[in-house]
Amino acid sequence: MAFAAKPQAGVDEDAAAGAQADRRALPRPYLLFLGAERDRSYAKTAFGLKDWAPDDCIGEYAYGDSPISLGLPALTPAEAHSRGARSLVIGVANAGGIIVDEWIPHLVAAMEAGLHIVSGMHARLADVPALRQAAEAAGVQLIDVRTPPAGIPVGTGRKRSGRRLLTVGTDCALGKKYTALAIARGLQARGLDADFRATGQTGILIAGGGMPMDAVVSDFESGAAEMLSPDAAPDHWDVIEGQGSILHPAFAAVSVGLLYGSQPDIVILCHDPDRDHLLGYPHQPVPGIAETIEATLLLGRRVNPEIRCAGISLNTRDHDADAAEALMRSLANQHGLPVADPIRGGARFQALLDACLA
């Protein structure tokens, strides 16, 4: 998906170019590292790459008794290298984005096998002495994609040309990226000029550019979002990947900054019907759909008085077709909005696209 859009007036063009990293510069294809992760929600980087950039993925590498599989060949780093892999991508997105100590021997082994290491964690690979030393010895790169460009301005709130859609959610890691990718492709399939705008490490790896919003200093969040989605042709759509959740006690800051800077005309609310508490926060219930939509529109009107919610994206991966249809029908009746699972597609997803364009 193209990332061609001119920088908006007043934005440092070098900084804007830095937000559009070329995926071809990353050494591909990849071996996807799952560590010993047991919760697939924390393996979203690996799943995202497998689902949306399958040609870049050679295999998967886990250790211990991890029950997670991507359905790719299970390979050691040496086996992956022999099959043509050039990098090991850390496919886990844990709380805080830390490099886990027990990963280090496995990452070192990958470098000794000749693989570069690609990471979307907050922690910098080169800040770990053992990794830095191993990379120097093996002559490979340590590549951090969660690095914002220099020169990000503060937000202006200035109305920009073009059309914008932002995915928002009742929690983290429940489908905002997949929804944005599916909608962007859906709009393109209808012959519309649409781009997916990545705001997290996985989306950046998939799309080849973007802005790692949760690595931006909070004062510059809105400015970063304005850089990511600059002035465009009146009929151009930027479909912007949401981050966090606007009612999340820990991660709302990035969500609000992204909302203000995106100035969306449309929001799509993403929800996991099987999640009763926030991921990793068992004491915090998931906020309701209506409550989240209301809060989003209340704040969003500050920068775009015409903002509206066009529908609900439901994550039904753990339901069979009949159960998923019953859930979607029930929520559509309850909220008076189109409800679809974009991964299932079909008539409900087409109706969601219709509502976005209405």
pLDDT above 50 for 181: yes
Residue type, 310: A
Segment 178-185 shows an average pLDDT of 97
Q: Does domain 27-144 have CATH number 3.40.50.720?
A: yes
How far apart, in Å, are the Cα atoms of 280 and each of 47, 168, 245, 271? 19, 19, 14, 16
Strand 163-169 vs strand 194-197: parallel, antiparallel, or unpaired?
unpaired
- Whole-number Cα distances in Å, 301 to 128, 189, 242, 260, 262: 44, 30, 17, 9, 12
| Cα end-to-end distance, the chain, whole Å | 24
Mean pLDDT value across residues 248-262: 96
- 319: confidence class by pLDDT, cuts 50, 70, 90: very high
φ/ψ of residue 209, rounded to 5: -175, 170
Whether the per-residue pLDDT at 26 is higher than 90: the answer is no
What is the predicted pLDDT for the residue at 207? 87
Region 85-93 average pLDDT: 95
The alpha carbon of 208 is separated from its chain's Cα centroid by a whole number of angstroms, namely 12
- What average pLDDT does this structure show over 299-317? 97
Residue 11: the pLDDT is 36
For residue 7, the model assigns a pLDDT of: 32
Question: Given this model, what pLDDT does residue 25 score?
Answer: 73
CATH number of this structure's domain 163-357:
3.40.50.300
Confidence of residue 108 (pLDDT cuts 50, 70, 90): very high
What is residue 254's predicted lDDT score, i.e. its pLDDT?
A: 96
Which residue has 């591909």 as its token pair?
28
Q: Do domains 27-144 and 163-357 have the same CATH topology?
A: yes
pLDDT for res 334: 97
For residues 143-150, give the mean pLDDT.
Answer: 92
pLDDT tens-digit series, residues 185-215: 999 999 999 999 999 999 999 988 899 999 9
pLDDT confidence of residue 15: 38
pLDDT at 208: 80
Is residue 242's pLDDT more than 90? yes
Domain assignments of the chain as residue spans, ordered by start:
27-144, 163-357
